[in-house]
Structure 1
C-alpha cells in the first residue's frame, strides 16, 4: 500500500510537471509570435520613415539649389546695376528697389531663405571683407525639410532598435520553449525508467528545468 501511494504521488508530480511544461511551451510560442510581430511592424515603420526621410532630403537639396541660384542671380543683377551706375553702390546696407532687377529678385527669395539673407546683410558684406562670404554660412540658414529628414532618420533608428530588441525577445522565448521540451522529455523518461533512483534522477532534472523556465518567463517582458 505505501508503494502504491508513493507511485501515485510520483505520477501526480510528473503529470503536473508535464502539464506546466505544456502550458509554458504554449505561452512561450504565443509570446514569440507576438514579439515577432513587433519586430516586423517596427522594421516596416522604420523603412517607411527612411523612405520619407529620403524624399525630405531630396526636397531640401532642391530648395538649397533654388536658394543658391536665386542668390547668385541677385548678386549678378546688383553687380550689373553698380557697374552701370556707381552711385547706387550700397554703403553697408541694402534696401531692395522693386523697380530694379536686383530688388525684383530679392523680393522673391524663398521665405525660409530671407532670415539668413537679412542676417547676412546685417554684417555689411558689401563693404566689409571680414563678413561671411554667403548667407549659407550662417546658422539662420535652416531648411525645414532638412530638419524633418533628420527627425525621420532618428525615429527610424529608434524603431530599428525596437525591432532588434523584439527579435532578441522572440528568440529568448523560443529558447525557453526548447527548455520546456526538455522538461517533457525528462518527465517522460521518469515514467519509463526502471528503478526508483533513475526515476528520481529524471524527475529532479525535470523539476530543475521547469523551475528555471518559470523564473525566466516571469522575468521576460510580455507583449499582449
Structure 2
C-alpha cells in the first residue's frame, strides 16, 4: 500500500484549486459569450456578402442592357448612314462625320446614350470610315466605359471582402469554443485532484490544472474581443 494513500490535500492547494475552478468557470462563460458574439458578426457579414452579390448581379444585368442598347443604336446608325450615302443625301466619308439632324443617322446620333457618345466621338476621330487600321467599332475604344460595369465590379469586391471578414469572424468564434474546451479540461483536473487518493496524484493534477488554466487565460486575453 502506498504511504501517501488517503492523504488529505493541503489547505493551500485546496484553496488554489477552488480559485482556479471559479476563474475557469468565469472564463468558460466569457468564451461562450464571445463565441456567440463573433458567430453573430459572421452571420451579418455573410448576409452583407449575399446582398452585395445580389446587387452586383443587378448591376451586371443593367450593364448588359446598356451594352445591347448601344449596339442596336450603333448598328442602326451605320445602316442609316450607308443608305444615305448610297442615296446621296449624306456626303461620302472623308475621315470625319458631321451629324445631320435632318437625316436618320443624325437623328440616331443625337439619341446615343451619354455613356456611348464619348466613345463614338473618339472612334470617329480615328477616321474609321476610311482608315482600315482604325478600331473596328466604338466598343473597342477605351472611352467606352459603363458605370453599371464598374458598379458590378465594385460590388463583387465588396462581397469578397465581406466573405473574408465572415471567415475571420468564424475563426474567432471557433477559437473561443476551443478555449472553452481547454478551460473545461482545467476544471476537470481541478475536480479530480480533490478526489485523488495519493499526495503525488494530487500534486500532479493540481499542477496540470494550474498550467492548463494559465495557458488558456493568456490566450483568452490575447484573442480579439467584442461587447
Give the TM interval when normalised to the shorter protein.
Answer: over 0.9
Question: CA-to-partner distance for each residue in 1:134-164, whole Å, 9 max, x for gaps?
Answer: 0101111000000000000000000000001
TM-score when normalising by structure 2: 0.94
Deviations 1:51-110 (CA, angstroms, capped at 9, x unpaired) = 000000000000000000000000000000001117611211111111000000000000
Give the match for residue 161 of structure 1: 164
Query: Are 2:167 and 1:132 equivalent residues in the alignment?
Result: no
Q: Does residue 50 in structure 1 map to residue 89 in structure 2? A: no
How many aligned residue pairs are there? Answer: 220
Indicate the residue corresponding to 1:37 in structure 2: 40
Q: Given the alignment of the two structures, is residue 181 of structure 1 paired with residue 184 of structure 2, yes or no?
A: yes
Residue 60 of structure 1 is aligned with which of 56, 59, 63?
63
Deviations 1:165-195 (A, max 9, x none): 1111101100000000001100000111112
Structure 2 residue 218 is matched with structure 1 residue 215: yes
> In structure 2, how many angstroms separate the alpha carbons of the residues matched to 1:100 and 1:31?
71
Query: Which runs of no fewer than 5 residues in structure 1 stay unpaired?
Result: none
1:69 pairs, out of 67, 72, 78, with 72
Aligned-partner Cα distance in 2 for 1:78–1:168: 63
Moved more, 89-98 or 62-71: 89-98
Matching residue within 191, 196, 208 for 2:194: 191
Report how far residue 7 of structure 1 moved. Answer: 2.4
User: What's the C-alpha RMSD, in Å, of the aligned pairs?
Assistant: 1.3
Q: Give the match's secondary structure for 1:88.
A: coil
Instruction: Identify the structure with the greater helix proportion.
Output: 1
Quickly say closer, same or farther: Cα 1:6–1:189, change in 2 above 3 A: closer
Match of 1:80 in 2: 83
Distance 2:103 2:192 in 1: 97
Matched, 1:116 2:119: yes
Which of 126, 149, 152 is matched with 1:146 structurally?
149
